[in-house]
Structure 1
Amino acid sequence: MADIALQAGICILKHYEKPDTAQKDDGSPVTQADVEAEALIEKALAALLPGVPIAAEEACSAGRLPQVDGAFLLVDPLDGTKDFIARNGQFTVNIALVEAREPVLGVIFAPALGKIWLGANKAVAADVLAGAKLTQARHRRDIKARQQPAEGLVAMASRSHMNAETERLLSALPIAERRPVGSSIKFCQIAEGLADVYVRAGRTMEWDTAAGHAILRAAGGDVRQPDGAPFLYGKRDAKFANGDFIAAGDTSLWD
């Protein structure tokens, strides 16, 4: 699955210098890179895991919602499209496997940064270029989330989705520093022990969070609803939309 994300990076980077941008019905941007990368990923996943339903962002946005009664895959071919258009490097390919409504495997690849994160039984980070194989990755290392620092939490903040409810949730936590970061890299920074929390109120989609959730959980953290209730997947009736959540490296946050 990691090699599929690495191949999708080629589709994305060939459009990086001059993105072709359109607008979806919900007002969010979409590029030719999104479309081509999703087609490649869907075809490769269908060959790798035949019969496993795939909920992919652009297909679902077009109304093609799969039935997901058992295990299924969530795909965001280009998470952080605004960051891609802004050419700041902070965009990712996200692929996750969900079983029993929980993410059990996650892959996040940042093509412009040459970094990949994986989560299943353990969490791993490595440096690798788009189009390479995972076996060619350098500086491969196990990663672990950290305990809450006594001096306060480092919060990952969305570059473009801050709102009053997110501010309210953040105000209840001992935040010492905020760092604006794009896409699912926020989850990965927490999984690496470089930050502590990512708080988000408002609409996100399951393909935005599942891969990061799997990686963070494998690193010892978790993603939960603000009250500590499980954050579950497979909400087809809601078109795979999420509710509010907190991603934390130290699960004692909810104690």
Structure 2
Amino acid sequence: MTSKGIRVLPMRVALLVVVTCLVVYYFVSKPKSEPKGYVDLHRLLVAGIGAAEMGGNEVRRVREGNTLGEKSKGETLEGVNDPLTMGDTASHRVMYHSLKAAFPMVNVVSEETDVKDSELLIRLPPLANEEVGKMGLGSEVVNASDVTMWIDPLDATKEYTEKLLQYVTTMVCVAVDGKPVIGIIHKPFERKTYWSWVGHGTNIDDKSNDDITKIIVSLSHKGDVEDVAKRAFGDVSVIGAGGAGYKSLALFDGTASVYVHTTRIKKWDICAGNAIVRNAGGHMTTLTGSEIDYSSHGSPINDKGLVAAVRKHQHYLTKLNFGH
């Protein structure tokens, strides 16, 4: 593969290229101070950014080539079609297998599973992310068995099929002992990556505003939350949007002051956003105020909804009066 062109490689060869590059990166960059059975979270951050961007390249390639190959996984609880596309599976392959090859001792949980395909187009971004490498974030070595990486190869698949591409993201989250500590949200069609490492740093410009109540919710159940919100706050703006990743980032750019979800949601949808909100001093909890456990044991489903806010989380939780 050269920088002057793009080659279409057979599936096995393409995956071998990705895996080989990340394995080399793993051993070359491995700090001498990292004991056997342990992993440095700084390397997980850098590799996670690379994986999210590789997945984003696949998501963008499939959409721009109009080769979605759309199927249905069934319906959501709201009765909305839950589609699966070649963008989902192609992104899953490069994200999941590259991370597992580089960090074999770390448990990686993905929304999708392996599905055979004849060919994949691989575009490898730089693995040593210059921005992160120059920020002096330090290191934090943890027991690899305590780490779970949650990946969402394509968030907002329904909107992806409808060309509502502003909502589409790829996400990686690192949880230690069930707590989200690294969140990475990549917007493929804007070619932008947002990340936070709790207690170490972020590249997100926090423009959150708690003066105006703007509630962002899923497009599929905007009406339900709007009724509750109006009873709690009176005149309130309820914004419907696709994708949990998009909605989490909307808390930082002034689009919304609180993110509410009233039905079940998968942990790979919300873990990255939870880490980003947590790093900013905010909270993402269930509707009753309980913390969400992102360890690998137990169900990947959070069936207790969520309330997320960078500021005044308890205020919103109390006013919305969920579960009472």
CA distance in 2, matches of 1:51, 1:144: 34
The equivalent of 1:15 in structure 2 is 62
The equivalent of 2:52 in structure 1 is 5
Asked if 1:117 corresponds to 2:194, the answer is yes
8 Å Cα contact 2:286-2:306 kept in structure 1: yes
8 Å Cα contact 2:262-2:287 kept in structure 1: no
Task: Pick the structure with greater CA Rg.
Answer: 2
Residue by residue over 1:68-112, the C-alpha shift from the partner in whole angstroms, topping out at 9 and shown as x without a partner, is: 973111011000001110111111001100112111101001101
Asked if 1:79 corresponds to 2:139, the answer is no
Opposite residue 102 of structure 2, the aligned amino acid is L
The equivalent of 2:183 in structure 1 is 106
8 Å Cα contact 1:106-1:213 kept in structure 2: yes
Taking the TM superposition and a 5 Å limit, the aligned residue runs for 1:199-210 are 199-210=260-271
- Structure 2 CA distance for partners of 1:69 and 1:23, relative to 1, 3 Å: farther
CA distance in 1, matches of 2:301, 2:288: 21
Q: Secondary structure at the match of 1:179?
A: strand
Residue by residue over 1:161-188, the C-alpha shift from the partner in whole angstroms, topping out at 9 and shown as x without a partner, is: 4463x44553454363222222111101
CA distance in 1, matches of 2:314, 2:71: 43
- Equivalenced residue count is 228
Alpha-carbon distance, 1:42 to partner:
0.9
In structure 1, stretches of 5+ residues that fail to align are: 61-67, 126-142
- Structure 2 CA distance for partners of 1:4 and 1:170, relative to 1, 3 Å: same
Alpha-carbon distance, 1:144 to partner:
2.4
Q: Secondary structure at the match of 1:97?
A: strand
Alpha-carbon distance, 1:43 to partner:
1.5
8 Å Cα contact 2:222-2:238 kept in structure 1: no
The counterpart of 2:239, out of the listed 172, 176, 179, is: 179
Moved more, 198-207 or 112-121: 112-121
Asked if 1:226 corresponds to 2:287, the answer is yes
CA distance in 2, matches of 1:235, 1:145: 33
The equivalent of 1:50 in structure 2 is 104
CA distance in 1, matches of 2:270, 2:227: 21
Asked if 1:192 corresponds to 2:253, the answer is yes
The counterpart of 1:146, out of the listed 203, 208, 231, is: 208
Residue by residue over 1:149-205, the C-alpha shift from the partner in whole angstroms, topping out at 9 and shown as x without a partner, is: 0xx3111121224463x4455345436322222211110110334421111011210
TM score, norm. by length of structure 1: 0.80
CA distance in 2, matches of 1:191, 1:233: 23
Alpha-carbon distance, 1:252 to partner:
4.3
CA distance in 2, matches of 1:185, 1:235: 24
Opposite residue 11 of structure 1, the aligned amino acid is E
Larger % of helix: which? Answer: 2
Opposite residue 248 of structure 1, the aligned amino acid is A
Q: Secondary structure at the match of 1:180?
A: strand
- Structure 2 CA distance for partners of 1:172 and 1:73, relative to 1, 3 Å: farther
Q: Secondary structure at the match of 1:160?
A: helix
Residue by residue over 1:137-157, the C-alpha shift from the partner in whole angstroms, topping out at 9 and shown as x without a partner, is: xxxxxx2263520xx311112
CA distance in 1, matches of 2:279, 2:255: 16
The equivalent of 1:65 in structure 2 is none
Opposite residue 101 of structure 2, the aligned amino acid is A
Question: CA RMSD of the aligned region, Å?
Answer: 2.4
Alpha-carbon distance, 1:237 to partner:
3.5
Opposite residue 146 of structure 1, the aligned amino acid is S
The equivalent of 1:131 in structure 2 is none
8 Å Cα contact 2:216-2:241 kept in structure 1: yes
Asked if 1:91 corresponds to 2:168, the answer is yes
- Percentage of identical aligned residues: 23
The counterpart of 1:213, out of the listed 258, 262, 274, is: 274
- Structure 2 CA distance for partners of 1:242 and 1:206, relative to 1, 3 Å: farther
Q: Secondary structure at the match of 1:82?
A: helix
The counterpart of 1:33, out of the listed 78, 84, 87, is: 87
Tell me: higher relative CO, structure 1 or 2? Use CA pairs within 8 A at least 6 residues apart.
Answer: 1
